[in-house]
Amino acid sequence: MTARRLFSYWPKWAFSVTVFAAILWLTLAPEPLPDEGLVFFPGIDKIVHACLFGGMAFALLFDLALARYKRHKAAPWRFSWKQLLVVVLTDCLFGAAIELAQSAMGMGRAAEIADFLADGAGALLAVLISPYILRCIFRTR
């Protein structure tokens, strides 16, 4: 099965919606994953935040590239700086909303500026490397 045929069956924005839902679950559920027996080092939560929000930025760019690919647009992995800025700002606003929600829910989690900065750093890193990954995924031969 060719990539074009496989992607033709992929629902619009399915990847982004799935990643958004996973992030909401992992950040707002009282105990989303069991942590018994796991040893974490200090600062692991910042790395997890960066990975989650970097994944969200990649998902948004993937779905945007997929929509372009389905329209047979040349080089669907090329984005303007405005599009990349919108993705980073969307991630940052979503991260800020989650931090405020965590604080308001009274689950023992507090809104931390460091978490928000990690969210933005993950989004920025993903925006910088995603076009190269997407070029490999959507390359036509």
What residue segments make up the domains of the chain, in order of their start? 44-141
User: Radius of gyration of the chain from Cα atoms?
Assistant: 17
Range with the poorest average pLDDT among 58-62, 63-67, 84-88, 135-139: 135-139
The overall longest dimension of the chain from CA atoms, in Å, is: 53
Q: How many CB atoms lie under 10 A from the CB of residue 65?
A: 24
Can you spell out the DSSP letters for 44-74? HHHHHHHHHHHHHHHHHHHHHHHHHHHTT-S
Average pLDDT for residues 106-125, to the nearest whole number? 85
Average pLDDT for residues 45-72, to the nearest whole number? 91
- Nearest CA-CA partner of 49 in 101, 104, 113, 140: 113
pLDDT over 70 (residue 47)? yes
pLDDT over 90 (residue 99)? no
